[in-house]
Structure 1
C-alpha cells in the first residue's frame, strides 16, 4: 500500500487538493480527516468548489469512494461541488463499475477541472 500525501492550493472560489497514494479501507479515515481539515480552512464562501487531483492515486477502493461521495454531498449542500481530475485506470474503472461516474464530475486534467469549477460558480 502506498501511504497518502496531500497538498492544497487555493484560487478564489476553488481549492485544488492533490492526493498521492492508495485510497482504500486502510486509509479512508485519513482521507476523510484531511479533506475535512482542508475544507474547513478553505470554505470561506458558500458555493466554493473543490478540485481533487488524483493523478498520483493508482488505486481507489470502495471506502475511499464513499469518502469522495460524502464530500461531494457536503459541498453541494453549501452550493459548491466536487471535481475529480486525472483519474488513473483502476479508479476510473471503479467509478464506472459502481455507477458513481454518473454523479461525480470527472475531468481529464486539473486545468479543465478548475475552469469548469470557476464557470459553475
Structure 2
C-alpha cells in the first residue's frame, strides 16, 4: 500500500515537516491529517520539506492549498522547500506556485518562516 512518511521539528513560531514518498490521491489524506495533528498553533508558519517527494498529485496539491489558506487566515504562511522536478512542474502548470512561498532549499524556507514569525515592533515605542 502506498504511503508517506513524515518527521517534524518545532522552532519558535514555525512547524517544519519533512515528507517522503508519493503524495497522490491515495496518500493526500495522510498528508492533511499529519499537518493538522502536527501544527501546534494555527498561527504557526508551516515549512514543508518536499525534497523526498518525487510525485505530487492534484489531491495532494489541494491539501497544500488548504494548508496555505488556513495559515493565511491565522496570519501565518506555508513555505514549500526543495521541490523535485515533477511537483515543481505541477505547481507551475496549475499556476499555484505564484501564490505559494516556494524555496529552493530547506534552509531558505526555514529562514523565511522564522523571519515572518518574528513579532513586528510597534513604531513609536521607546526601546527599553
Tell me the TM-score normalized by structure 2: 0.87
Partner in structure 1 of residue 120 of structure 2: none
Distance 2:100 2:2 in 1: 24
Distance 2:85 2:2 in 1: 16
Partner in structure 1 of residue 57 of structure 2: 61
Match 1:116 to one of 107, 112, 117 = 112
SS at match of 2:30: helix
Distance 1:69 1:111 in 2: 22
SS at match of 1:6: strand
Query: In the comparison of the two structures, how many residue pairs are matched?
Result: 117
Distance 2:2 2:112 in 1: 30
CA RMSD of aligned residues (A): 1.3
Post-superposition CA distance 1:81-114 (Å, at most 9, x none) = 0000000000000000000001111001111111
Post-superposition CA distance 1:53-102 (Å, at most 9, x none) = 00000000000000000001001111100000000000000000000001
Partner in structure 2 of residue 25 of structure 1: 25
- Give the deviation of 1:47 after TM superposition: 3.7
Distance 2:87 2:94 in 1: 11
1:93-112 correspondence to structure 2 within 5 Å: 93-112=89-108
Q: Highest Rg: 1 or 2? A: 2
Partner in structure 1 of residue 12 of structure 2: 12
- Give the deviation of 1:48 after TM superposition: 1.8
Partner in structure 1 of residue 3 of structure 2: 3
